[in-house]
Amino acid sequence: MSKQSQQQNFVHQVIGHNKQKHRLVPQKAQGTGHAPVNIALSKYWGKRDAILNLPTNGSVSISLPGLGTETQIKPLIDSNERRDKVSLNGEILDENNPFAQRVSAFLNHFRKDKNSFFDVITVNSVPTAAGLASSASGYAALVLALNDLFEWQLADKELSLLARLGSGSASRSLFSGFSVWHQGQQEDGLDSYAEAIDTQWPEFCVGLLEIDVKQKPVSSTQGMQNTVETCALYQAWPEQANKDMQVIQNAIQTKNFTTLGKTAEHNALTMHATMIATWPPIVYWQPESVEAMHKVWQLREQGVEVYFTMDAGPNLKLLFLETEKPAVKQAFADIKILEPFKQ
């Protein structure tokens, strides 16, 4: 079966299109969706199925309210061009733009017929300066907008499954607070979705440390594939990552910040170790990233309880409790501090 039809089958199973043809008929003039970005505390790195975006391990994340994507979608009518109209942050993208192409490829699963196109307006409230990936919030917001346009009234589980198809980490961006993305075992991918973890932790802070906001040199999809194929150390990753995920889930439930912070930092460094041991090597770090890590370790030696995590880029995300806010601010003058449970 081709990639397109495998994905199409998956989508039909989730939205129930086979049974009810009207699932792909817009029920209103436009649909809207909003979703936050999320930061993984134990990471997703590696796909066991690249077509359905199925991970080799589960992951846990925290969403950042106030930073995310707002999407509007409507059927494109009276257009001579036989393609979607996609705009990002106020700019209409041309057909060769990679973002527009990815969005259109995703929307191929949701066309009533080959003549139906969409008008998509996407606004990212992720400040470029934050150095955060917006694909997670982007696909989650797009799925919410489609759910609204077609009035599917899907449950969170189904929304998460659809978002996962766009970008793995998007499965976790449907929720506020902490969430867990289950690895799943089934070949059809219907058991690999994220759920909210029902714990409020008002003192929990995330600090965004901008090192460099340029486009990453290797995409996460490409990076994961190279790691899985060429890194011998990677064999140890899925088991370790699943253990870390359990430890972090327990630490969230018991509000054990020390265990959460240590495990999250260790997990991120383990993931980066597999990247570095890939061929060709993937080193997302800049000298300033390493400098910031040393600063975090120095702070810890001085008794300030702060940890870091990093994704497929050079920027650090610091984890600490409210009591450490003054010390963290003093050490990192340009840090942007977010309190995910206080709005």
In the complex with ligand PMV, which residue's Cβ is closer, 117 or 139? 139
According to the binding rule CB under 6 A, does residue 263 interact with ligand PMV? Answer: no
Residue 342's φ and ψ, nearest 5 degrees, are -120, 120
Which of 44, 152, 175, 308: binder of ligand PMV (CB under 6 A)? 44
According to the binding rule CB under 6 A, does residue 169 interact with ligand PMV? Answer: yes
Nearest CA among 129, 130, 166, 132 for reference residue 146: 166
Three-state SS at 205 = strand
Which window, 9-17, 120-128, 131-139, 248-256, contacts ligand PMV (CB under 6 A)?
Answer: 131-139
How many Cβ atoms are within 10 Å of 96's Cβ, its own excluded?
A: 7
According to the binding rule CB under 6 A, does residue 147 interact with ligand PMV? Answer: no
Is-contact 163 174, C-beta < 8 A? yes
According to the binding rule CB under 6 A, does residue 225 interact with ligand PMV? Answer: no
Is-contact 143 172, C-beta < 8 A? no
Joined tokens for residue 163: 């978002």
Residue 6's φ and ψ, nearest 5 degrees, are -65, -45
Is-contact 258 305, C-beta < 8 A? yes
Dist CA 202 CA 298 (whole Å): 26
Which of 7, 56, 57, 59: binder of ligand PMV (CB under 6 A)? 59
Q: Which of residues 301-320 bind ligand PMV (CB under 6 A)?
A: 311-312
In the complex with ligand PMV, which residue's Cβ is closer, 56 or 135? 135
Residue 320's φ and ψ, nearest 5 degrees, are -160, 170
DSSP 8-state code for residue 82: S
Q: Which of residues 148-167 bind ligand PMV (CB under 6 A)?
A: 167
CB of 222 to ligand PMV, least distance (A): 10
Which of 17, 43, 48, 74: binder of ligand PMV (CB under 6 A)? 43
Joined tokens for residue 76: 């494109």
CB of 180 to ligand PMV, least distance (A): 11
According to the binding rule CB under 6 A, does residue 135 interact with ligand PMV? Answer: yes
Is-contact 193 181, C-beta < 8 A? yes
Which window, 19-27, 38-46, 84-92, 96-104, contacts ligand PMV (CB under 6 A)?
Answer: 38-46
CB of 168 to ligand PMV, least distance (A): 4
Q: Which residues bind ligand PMV (CB under 6 A)?
A: 40, 43-45, 59, 133, 135-136, 167-169, 220-221, 311-312
